[in-house]
Amino acid sequence: MIIVLIGYMASGKTSIGKRLAAKLNYTFIDLDDLIEEKENASVTEVFKNKGEVYFRKKETEYLKEVLAMSGNIILSVGGGAPCYSNNMQDILDAENAKSIYLKATIPTLAEKLMRKKAKRPLIAHIETEEAMAEFIGKHLFERSPFYSQAEIKVSIDYKTKDEIAEDVLSVLF
């Protein structure tokens, strides 16, 4: 089975994915890491040097590659991945895949992203938690129709990473 974790930046897709992979003895794949490996450049460099259209095409190509794999995989996709091309439909149509939306409220995401913004070029310029909440709100308004198609939704608010991983396991098995 391929368990596909989707959600906004800082929702825990990578950290929860790694925990789940360890608990289940599954292979963990972070789609952004795979893109970096295959393109021999960071996601930031790909965006800067080849543009977003190129990045999104590659993201779709590598997503399809992973969805076609056999074996037990936890796949963490970038926050925008479900919203481009036909990616969310491809995830839903994959016979051996289960999609999970790690869902968080805007205040939770704003608080987390204010702590991590230096590592994220897209949001590094945002100065206040209020401005961050507004930025996230606009993004979530656009992305929610895609995220909400996930087969399973797990709230991450006020939970530790281990609690979230346990919640995911309880709804899966």
Would you list which residues are annotated within the binding site for ATP? 10-15, 120
Collapse the DSSP code of 33 into the 3-class scheme (helix H, G, I; strand E, B; otherwise coil) and give the result: helix
Binding residues for substrate: 32, 56, 79, 143
The whole-angstrom separation of Cα 77 and Cα 56 is 12
Contact indicator for 75, 66 with CB cutoff of 8 Å: yes
Binding residues for Mg(2+): 14
Contact indicator for 27, 21 with CB cutoff of 8 Å: yes
Binding residues: 10-15, 32, 56, 79, 120, 143
**Number of H helices and number of E strands within the chain?**
7, 5
